[in-house]
Structure 1
Amino acid sequence: MSAPKVQTSASQQGILLVNLGSPKSTSVKDVKTYLDEFLMDERVIDLRWLFRSLLVQGIILQIRPKKSAKAYQSVWTEDGSPLIVFSKQIQKKLQKVVDLPVSLGMRYSEPSIEEGIRQLVNQGINEIILFPLYPQYAMSTTETVTVKAEEVRKKKFPDIKIKYVKPFYHRDIYIEALANSIKKQLPDDFDMLQFSYHGVPERHIYKTDPTHTCNLENCRSDLNFHFNEYCYLNHCYETTRLVRERLNLPENKVIITFQSRLGKDPWLKPYTDITLEHLPKKRVKNLVVVCPAFVSDCLETLEEISEEGQEIFKKAGGETFTYIPCLNDNDEWIQVMKKLCEELY
């Protein structure tokens, strides 16, 4: 590992990587604590506090923790949560190729964003390059990270400055790394490549549209809309288009779906699980799935897609199911992160 850069200027920079987070363990108690913090975030479940509290603490947390704990148990490693393990590996690898100190924080649970900032401040850092590990912008991912970081900064570290790495869903260096990762693991013979993105309620798309002109369909059809800086749906379609073109795949061999919906409100469609059930009926027998909303494998990719999704597909008549892992600590991805951070030096 290279030693952190010794800076002589007034600006002493460091890098803070921020990912979603994970329960401390697979115990029902720890999973419940994690879900409480996660689901009570007003940018995840965007209801008024009273209604959000009644829904989360009165209903969801009475039912979901036991089921989620069992799901976490199926993907938990000897070193802990896959998301935390991969995030630490990313941090370690990035530190080897940059001259700035690199710390790690999670939006929910530990290590917290506050802890990540404090580690850098204790090293004399007064300007932080904060890297939300989400390719596409969404209210429940990028936005909640930046809002939380600013809240912590103002309250605990008012003298530091934070610069943010912007969503990189369309950047050539990221698309190339993602496409190369897919290409290396893409079977020679497959019927369909399914891009499964994390879902969000449809209303989130409207809320993040500063022009108030979005009708969902134009996000899919017109990728040059001037408000696409904040449109998650647009970002998902653009990522898919760019990767498909880089891989030189025909449009009829690629499909976009959205997973992990919660509750009865309309979420982005088509839904991943329903699509997996219907594809074999459309003569899709050999399926490949990739999850580009995540850079690190986690519960939503390893359990929901690779395990549960594969079971749904094969029960419906599918024959082969190939899950392509996230970028994780892929060396090309580490170089992408390095370059994106360097733009803010």
Structure 2
Amino acid sequence: MKLLFHSDGVAGYVPAGFQFPMLIDSRGFSVVAVNLYILRQLATNAWSSEASARTNAQRFLDIFAYFEDNNISFGEVRVANLTEYRDFKLKHGIDGKPCAQATVNTAVMLFKKYWAWALGEGLIVESAPVSITEYNIRTRGLPAFADLWLPTAEEIKLFLSQMRGPEERIATGLTFCAGLRRAEVTSLPADILLSIDQMDRRRGAIRLELDGYHAPTKGNRRRIVEIPVRLYGDMINYKMSDRRANRIERSTQACTTLLVTKYGRPCNPDWLNDVFSHASALCGLAIHPHLLRHWYATRFLEYETPERFNGSETAAVEALQRLLGHADIKTTLGYVHLAMLEGSEKVRALTNYQRTLDRLLQE
């Protein structure tokens, strides 16, 4: 196949002023399914902004460029080809510079979504023994707990000082004050936020229910999260603010999420990544959203175990599992082990529990 684009026709490159990218095969015929999908993503604003659409289209079509270079026709694409593409990009990348894991994963996920859509529309027929939609991308996983650096309270304060508006401050607060995941932060619906006197308030925190559907969670598991009263007050004020109302008025689409972009659309997890990258660059700290989820788990065990659970480590870990939304206690134990390695005076005192965790992790 050959890749041509609507503007300059340069293979493998999406110019800044493109209208939409086109893919044609070696006979000069348009690969209709691919082009329809890209047009659909642009028309429905599924790729958020023009910059995001340009980046996603380039990563999406980069896979097709790889197929072309390796003489793999579109009808012969198999799961093994995606694995080969992934390994090649991680090792050789572009012009000999290896691609980041997240970049490769994004490209593969875009291709998987396209493939699922094309199958559903009847535009392609899949005959491979293993469906491409079942292909699992490889992730880096969590960093080794012994090597994971956690910011101090002063460093988090410095990090927060780089935020550029209430949306960014609230989103960041929900990661390290309530332990929410990126997608849970950006998809949090506004209508579940009621006045403080109508909410369940315990120990200086508001207990907010995420049902897994209207308020999405990982695995659609219902759970309760605890949000500090001050942060919850900021969320209520933002919900009722003219700033949010004016943003929503700019969009022709209904927006139900609490956090919205300046164009009145729902924020997405990539937006939160950009927020953290910008703030990290300004303050010189390498902080990402999931790192602050670890920070939340560490803080919870440090302060809540002796005071809230009367020193009962088992009760503290079980409560933390529910708050973090982990299906398996072993996942939570990883966060606990991290807390032990951080060497907090209060946590280090739990020596018996630390030995138990070490044995469980080893098993």
Q: Give the TM-score band, short-chain normalised.
A: under 0.3
Taking structure 1 as the reference length, the TM-score comes to 0.28
Which structure has more RCO (C-alpha within 8 Å, separation ≥ 6)?
A: 1
Larger fraction in strand: 1
Larger fraction in helix: 2
Taking structure 2 as the reference length, the TM-score comes to 0.27
